[in-house]
Amino acid sequence: MLASKRILLIIGGGIAAYKSLDLIRRLKGLGAEVTPVLTRAAEEFVTPLSVAALAGAPVHRDLFDLTTEAEMGHIQLSRSADLIVVAPATADLMAKMAQGHANDLASTLLLATDTPVLIAPAMNVRMWEHPATQRNIAQLKSDGIRFVGPDAGEMACGEFGAGRMAEVPDILMAAETYFEAGVLQGKRIIVTSGPTHEPIDPVRYIANRSSGAQGTAIAAALAALGAEVVFVTGPADVPPPPHVEVVRVETAAQMKEAVESALPADAAVFAAAVADWRVASASASKIKKKDGALPVLEFSENPDILAGVSQMAQGRPKLVVGFAAETDDVVAHATAKRERKGCDWIVANDVRPETGIMGGSENAVVLISGDGAESWPRMGKGAVAEKLAARIAEALVQ
């Protein structure tokens, strides 16, 4: 999988840099071509000579290196790889990436590149947990940077916790997974996400507690497998993922229209928490408070987007996946919902407040299909998304 792949390996300045020597050796063993870049600080931990000898290629060290510029400019260097791997990615290097600094060769390459980037962070546990680093992590993830690790364990500084660089086999596996990605290449998938807002008047609306986290993670996981994703999102708390086409909507009616214009598609995943009702005649001007007179809102039913697409006579996506947020008898209700709506799968979750799932970072789901109900263990919403994306890939690519 890594044979003849061109890897630009940026080695940051941390004690874990010693593992990058083994990483080079293993990459070469798998047939990859490695172009190494060392930061100044990295040279304190590994020597350019050993890096060059293992890579069988010259080491790039300086932004203003005349020989390198004459042979290959740094812009070209940043784009000539199939994948950029940063190992170890120090707190400083991650901060530079998140901020878009370009004040040395490594940060300039990372800013100039249009090649996917995989980073293996390594730092002291306090540095990893610091709000500044956590902000940078969130930023880098939303910029589409892939992460491997860090692991938790005993660290070179004697402390214990998260921050150890991922082991070399895990970094290799993450790089391989990147090249395997693409199983959904050429497949178009619509994902709905977030809540809808149904106006009462120009300033007030009816909404629900959906954060959009699960739908966003699903769209990201499908895009990571190479799918062309149309992400139709209501006003969610989390930003849309990178590498998808974003269509922003507010109401259920707008969401339906956006989904219909995104068709035809190979699959559709309806993770949005669509409001069941809208105010029948929303006021065009702000409803004024009047003494002794309470406004009475009349509702009308919103279109059921999932049922509509599931029951299309022509041009129905091959796979239609709905969600069911339930507070009791999860499997029974979700199984009935699958029948009623006519979709292929229902991803059911228990959203009783004590589960902490609604708005939280974890999910425990049951996948209901024609084959029955399959309970997945409780895991992060990202992991649920990856598992679901893999199942969708299996169903679409046979």
Two tokens, residue 349 = 């979750």
Tell me which residue of 125, 132, 134 sits closest to 163, measured CA to CA. Answer: 125
Strand partners, 319: 267
Long-range pairs, 98-105, Cβ under 8 A, ≥24: 98/135, 98/136, 98/139, 98/140, 98/143, 104/39, 104/40, 104/63, 105/37, 105/39, 105/60, 105/61, 105/62, 105/63, 105/65, 105/74
Q: How many whole angstroms separate alpha carbon 221 and alpha carbon 161?
A: 28
Instruction: Name the residues that contact ligand C5P, by CB under 6 A.
Output: 192, 252, 270, 272, 274, 302-306, 322-324
Query: What's CA 78's distance to the chain center, in Å?
Result: 23
In the bound complex, what is the minimum distance in angstroms from residue 307's beta carbon to ligand C5P? 7
Two tokens, residue 292 = 């002794």
Q: Assign 3-state DSSP to the chain and report helix, strand, coil percentages, each to 5.
A: 35, 25, 40
In the bound complex, what is the minimum distance in angstroms from residue 297's beta carbon to ligand C5P? 18
Nearer to ligand C5P, 19 or 256 (CB): 256
In the bound complex, what is the minimum distance in angstroms from residue 225's beta carbon to ligand C5P? 21
Nearer to ligand C5P, 155 or 189 (CB): 189
In the bound complex, what is the minimum distance in angstroms from residue 242's beta carbon to ligand C5P? 23
Q: Which residues are catalytic?
A: 157
In the bound complex, what is the minimum distance in angstroms from residue 296's beta carbon to ligand C5P? 23
Q: How many whole angstroms separate alpha carbon 306 and alpha carbon 222?
A: 19
3-state secondary structure of 182: coil
In the bound complex, what is the minimum distance in angstroms from residue 183's beta carbon to ligand C5P? 24
Q: How many whole angstroms separate alpha carbon 293 and alpha carbon 274?
A: 30
Nearer to ligand C5P, 130 or 316 (CB): 316
Nearer to ligand C5P, 274 or 357 (CB): 274
Tell me which residue of 208, 257, 212, 214 sits closest to 239, measured CA to CA. Answer: 212
Nearer to ligand C5P, 33 or 326 (CB): 326
Nearer to ligand C5P, 48 or 303 (CB): 303
Cα–Cα distances in Å, from 40 out to 12, 17, 56, 69, 145? 8, 12, 20, 18, 23
